[in-house]
Amino acid sequence: MLSAEQLADWERDGFLVLPGAVEPRACDRLRAHVVSRLAEADPAANSSLTVFDTTEQGHAQDEYFLTSGDVVRWFLEEGAVADGRLTRPLELAVNKLGHAMHDLDPEFDRFSRTPMLAGLAADVGLRDPRLLQSMYIFKQPGIGGEVSCHCDHTFLWTEPQSVIGFWFAIEDATVENGCLWVAPGRHREPVRTRFRREGSGTTMDLLDPAPWPTDDLVPVEADKGTLIVLHGTLPHWSAPNTSDKSRHAYTLHLIDGDADYPDDNWLRRGPDMPLRGF
């Protein structure tokens, strides 16, 4: 799938931007499908709906989050809830849908398992690609929350490191509406933290006290249909969306079946739902 030049960019930078990787109408179809599922996200019908806030990690202790690895659940924007009630229409209050749509929802399965993506996974070094986690992220206008600077290896740990992120722009992503920012080349630096289960909750191990540098983050604006490929140790970040435009994105995280996936990863699956490839 990738040219020698793209592979060299990948090695050097730790990310790749592939405009037009997905047909815009496939993005529109996925967006419409997600909107059609919104009825099930009504907190009145589902009292365990949880606010997702990456800057606090307060959600992490929440059973709702910790048991969402092999199901499909809705999470709400922190800014959309006051006194336990939604402060805006549901379609403008959801933060994300996660984390196993690629295995449980035929529409997501179709979007996630294509020959193009299988070829890409092989090109970036996955010998036995397994689709571990899917998220549909809304980044709502006005309240879409910041995603603090992190690398995906922190949250989806394998030994050796193998996680690769596929980030699809379902709508145009700009600096204005909270596009991804990345730190080119810093995937070669040691990972700073590891998030894992401890007891009935979670903990964040500090492996390297040096803070993530924020001065060399660069924005990666992406038109609808663009795929951004992220190395598992590349720091990335996105700002709050203070604009009046949403920034829908779909992310898929893959790991190598050859690597060890320790039991204390937060994301777990039941024995009846083993990880699958393409």
Q: What residues line the site for Fe ion (CB under 5 A)?
A: 152
Nearer to Fe ion, 133 or 177 (CB): 133
CB 106 → Fe ion: shortest distance, Å?
A: 25
Backbone angles phi, psi at 36, to 5 degrees: -70, -20
Nearer to Fe ion, 181 or 261 (CB): 181
- Which of 86, 238 has the CB closer to Fe ion? 238
Question: Minimum distance between the CB of residue 248 and Fe ion, rounded to whole angstroms?
Answer: 16
Alpha-carbon span 93 to 80, nearest angstrom? 5
Closest by Cα among 235, 250, 241, 253 to 181: 235
Give me the least distance between CB of 165 and Fe ion, in Å please. 6
Contacts of residue 247, defined as CB under 8 A and 6 or more positions apart, other chains included, come to 138, 139, 144, 171, 172, 173, 174, 177, 178, 179, 241
Nearest distance in Å: CB 234, Fe ion: 9
- The residue (of 43 and 235) whose beta carbon lies closer to Fe ion is 235
Residue nearest to Fe ion (CB): 152
CB–CB of 201/61 below 8 Å?
Answer: yes
Question: Least distance to Fe ion from the beta carbon of 151, Å?
Answer: 7
Say if CB 170 and CB 251 are below 8 A apart.
no
- Residue closer to Fe ion, measured from CB, 54 or 174: 54
Cβ neighbors of 26 (< 8 A, separation 6 or more) are 111, 225
20 torsion bin: left (phi>0), alpha (psi -120 to 50), beta (else): left
Instruction: Kindly tell me which of 86 and 217 has the beta carbon lying closer to Fe ion.
Output: 217
Amino acid in position 67: T
What residues pair up with 260 in beta bridges, in sequence order? 159
Helix (H, G, I), strand (E, B) or coil at 119: helix
Task: Give the residue with the Cβ less far from Fe ion, 105 or 152.
Answer: 152
Q: Which two tokens stand for residue 257?
A: 């079946």
Burial of 63 (0-12, 13-18, 19+ CB in 10 A): exposed
Shortest CB 68 distance to Fe ion, Å: 16
Q: How far is the CB of 85 from Fe ion (least distance, A)?
A: 30
